[in-house]
Each structure stands twice: as C-alpha cells, then as structure tokens.
Amino acid sequence: MKFKAVNPDLPTLSSLVRTLTLLLTLAAAGLNAQEAPTHEYSADGETTIETINGLRVITLRSNVFVRQEDIELTGDVAVLEYDRNNQLQQVRLTGSPANFEQKGASETDSVTGFSDTINYYAGTEPVVEFLGNASFSQPGTSLRCAEIRHTIATGATSGQACSGSLSPQVN
C-alpha cells in the first residue's frame, strides 16, 4: 500500500514550534519565580561581586537597601552571601544604625529594629540578630538591649542586658 507524501506548511510549523518554546520558557520561569523569594538590593556606592569558599558574595556600600519579600534592611554596608543555587543565605549589615523592618498586614503590625550590626539569616527558619546598641519593637513589645535575637516565623525573641516595655495586645 502506498501513502501520499505529506508536505507540511513550514512557516506554520515554525510558528507553532516558536509558540510552544515561548510557552514552555514562560512556564519554567513562572515555576522558578514561585520557588525563589523576591529579592532586590541597591547601593549608592561601590558594589563588588566575588566567589569565596563556594559562596557568591556581594558587598554593597553607601546608603544600602536590601529587600527579601516583606523584610527590608537599610544601612551603610551590606555583605550578602548566596549558595551555589543563588539562594540568599545571609546578610550582614552595618550602619549608623543598621535598620530592619518586617512589613505586617498593617503599619501597626510591623516588626522593626536597629543596631550597629544586623545579621539576617534567610534559611528555612529565618532569624535576625541585632548586635550592639540594639532596639527592637513588635506589636506589644519594645526592647533595648546589647544584643537581640528574633526568630521571624515564630516571633520568639531573646536578648542580653535588656530593658523594655510591654503593652496590651489586641487579639
């Protein structure tokens, strides 16, 4: 049995292949965007990028701004460390002072703090440390300490050499 030869319409086939490639690329980009948290940074001064011990290290100087999802950090100098998969691991921020803010559902739900140095650990259980002349506020609590450690997911906070105040919380 003989079959007729089929001549495909090459411009139509080419257009279909380009469309499918574009759709697959957009779908893959969408999946990657959902996996990685939104992250941005800026600085008015020098920015350096280097690899140290397998980590990608970005150093920002002068009027530094770093944001990861609802976390914002500002200060004078920031050192950002990324793993081999370009996932943010840690930010070390210094300033006069260095500032931290976690945006809440409303302005009164925000968590804020400042100190000479801030270490933000962005792993699976994010933690922020305030070192030197530390001040920290979250709804119902204000602290001034030499050092403060705050676990972001649970809200657990501890400090060294502290004074503070508590106010009634609205549930």
pLDDT on residue 108: 74
Residue 102 region by backbone torsions, left for phi larger than 0, else alpha for psi between -120 and 50, else beta: beta
Q: What share of the chain has pLDDT > 90, as a percent? A: 64
- Residue 70, classified by CB atoms within 10 Å of its CB into exposed (0-12), middle (13-18) or buried (19+), is middle
Within a domain: 8 = no
Domain count, the chain: 1
Does 10 have pLDDT greater than 60? no
pLDDT on residue 39: 83
pLDDT on residue 36: 54
Within a domain: 79 = yes
Element (H, E) at 64: strand 55-68
Q: Which residues contact 165 (CB under 8 A, 6 or more apart)?
A: 141, 142
Within a domain: 137 = yes
Within a domain: 31 = no
Within a domain: 19 = no
pLDDT on residue 15: 46
Q: Residues 3-42, buried b or exposed e (16+ Cβ, 10 A)?
A: eeeeeeeeeeeeeeeeeeeeeeeeeeeeeeeeeeeebebe
* Mean pLDDT, residues 126-146 taken together: 95
Reference 133, options 92, 165, 163; nearest CA is: 163
Within a domain: 12 = no
Taking the alpha carbons at both ends of the chain, their separation in whole angstroms is 80
pLDDT on residue 35: 53
Within a domain: 87 = yes
The CATH number assigned to the domain holding 127 equals: 2.60.450.10
The boundaries of the domain holding residue 81 are 39-166
pLDDT on residue 17: 39
pLDDT on residue 106: 76
Report residue 119's pLDDT band, with 50, 70 and 90 as the boundaries. Answer: very high
Within a domain: 114 = yes
